[in-house]
């Protein structure tokens, strides 16, 4: 009997679930406690799985268990299978009620507070029973969450060629960076400013070791300038905007963060040319993954908001 036939007849979802629990817990005893079952029952499930696939799935030692290469491959496939199965059940539910559902969207904090919130608001007005989970994290973290299938899609920049092998990217808009001040800042009245003129002002910027901070550092380096005197380092864009409102600080922000004001303080984009290209923002999904019917609806509305964003430039 071929391996595929053995798997089709003998592998059990429950046994695969047990294997994933054992690897996550690091031992059969801990997994048994987590699953509210006995250790012999867990051992039996693992043995039946190993018999079904014909290879060892776990390396056992006094310190616990680790998946073999075969076990890791089965766990990776199992995670995708359970994810697709969950989504299939959701899709079946939506067949009976196509105007309900939920979606998990990841983005950086500035994009979540601006563009993504606007998309969610527009779709929620049309289909008020949809539930949105908006997850705001750094770019690398939301990509990891997408890879773990904890998010349906991202509104984010493209990571690069390697990431493109796993991800689909649909371009939405270019997001340039701007120097921003509070409306009461004396620089807000100037019609033309060189970046070098601002080097000795008080700045609030992301930490230099963070991706946004590295971008700011590169901006000054390409301009032939030292990093400016930074009074407050923070990744929190809302905190930086509140500091700008005092009239005492400058910062660098993506333009999209300023185009969807809700309760933002009065801010002013300064007429400064920055020597960095805009960042391409788009919809990012995992290739060959089944998604909720809400995902294409969210993408459709994201396209609409992006078109309006481009017209306002």
Express each pLDDT in 72-125 by its tens digit.
888 887 777 777 777 777 767 665 565 778 899 999 988 998 899 999 999 999
Which CATH code is given to the segment(s) 100-175+279-311? 3.40.190.10
Instruction: Look at residue 60 in the predicted model and tell me its pLDDT.
Output: 82
φ/ψ bin of 36: left (φ > 0), alpha (ψ from -120 to 50), beta (otherwise): left
Q: Where in the chain is the domain with CATH 1.10.10.10?
A: 3-82
Residue-wise pLDDT tens digits, 138-157: 888 999 999 988 999 999 99
pLDDT of residue 83: 77
CATH 3.40.190.10 domain span(s) along the chain: 100-175+279-311, 177-269
* Superfamily for the 177-269 domain: Periplasmic binding protein-like II (3.40.190.10)
Considering the segment(s) 3-82 as one domain, its CATH architecture is Orthogonal Bundle (1.10)
Distances (CA, A) of 28 to 49, 55, 69, 262: 14, 19, 19, 51
**3-state SS assignment for residue 174:** strand
Provide the H-helix boundaries in 148-206. Answer: 161-164
Give the pLDDT score at 264.
60
E-assigned strands of the chain? Answer: 58-61, 64-67, 100-107, 129-136, 153-157, 167-175, 177-182, 203-205, 230-233, 250-254, 267-269, 279-286
**What residues contact 7, with CB distance under 8 A and at least 6 apart?**
52, 53
Other Cβ atoms less than 10 A from the Cβ of 268: the count is 19
| Cβ pair 33, 42 in contact under 8 A | no
Task: Check residue 249 and give its pLDDT.
Answer: 96
| Residue 233: count of CB within 10 angstroms of its CB | 15
Question: How many CA atoms, within 13 angstroms, populate the side-chain half-sphere of residue 92?
Answer: 6
Question: How many C-beta atoms surround the C-beta of residue 240 within 10 A?
Answer: 25
Report the pLDDT value the prediction gives residue 312, as an integer from 0 to 100.
Answer: 67
Per-residue confidence (pLDDT) for residue 96, from 0 to 100: 53
Q: Which portions of the chain are predicted below pLDDT 50?
A: 1-4
């Amino acid at each position: 009997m071929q391996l595929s036939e053995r798997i089709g007849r003998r592998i059990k979802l429950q046994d695969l679930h047990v294997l994933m629990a054992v690897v996550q817990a690091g031992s059969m005893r801990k997994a048994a406690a987590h699953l509210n079952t006995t250790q012999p029952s867990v051992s039996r499930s693992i043995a039946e799985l190993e018999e079904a696939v014909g290879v060892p799935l776990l390396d056992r030692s006094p310190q616990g268990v680790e998946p073999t290469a075969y076990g890791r491959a089965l766990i990776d496939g199992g995670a995708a299978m359970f994810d697709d199965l969950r989504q299939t059940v959701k899709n079946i539910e939506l067949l009976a009620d196509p105007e309900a559902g939920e979606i998990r969207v990841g983005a950086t904090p500035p994009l979540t507070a601006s563009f993504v919130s606007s998309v969610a608001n527009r779709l929620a007005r049309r289909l008020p029973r949809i539930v949105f989970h908006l997850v705001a994290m750094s770019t690398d973290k939301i990509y990891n969450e997408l890879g773990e299938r904890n998010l349906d899609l991202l509104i984010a920049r493209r990571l690069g060629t390697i990431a493109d092998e796993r991800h689909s990217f649909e371009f939405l808009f270019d997001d340039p960076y701007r120097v921003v001040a509070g409306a009461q800042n004396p620089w807000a009245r100037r019609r033309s400013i060189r970046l070098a003129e601002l080097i000795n002002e008080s700045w609030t910027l992301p930490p230099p070791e963070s991706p946004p901070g590295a971008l700011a550092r590169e901006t000054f380096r390409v301009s032939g300038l030292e990093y400016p005197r930074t009074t407050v380092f923070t990744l929190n864009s809302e905190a930086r905007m509140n500091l700008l409102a005092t009239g005492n600080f400058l910062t660098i922000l993506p333009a999209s963060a300023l185009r969807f004001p809700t309760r933002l303080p009065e801010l002013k984009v300064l007429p400064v040319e920055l020597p960095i290209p805009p960042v391409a923002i788009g919809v990012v999904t995992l290739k060959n993954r089944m998604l909720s019917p809400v995902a294409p609806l969210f993408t459709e509305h994201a396209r609409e908001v992006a078109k309006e964003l481009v017209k306002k430039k």
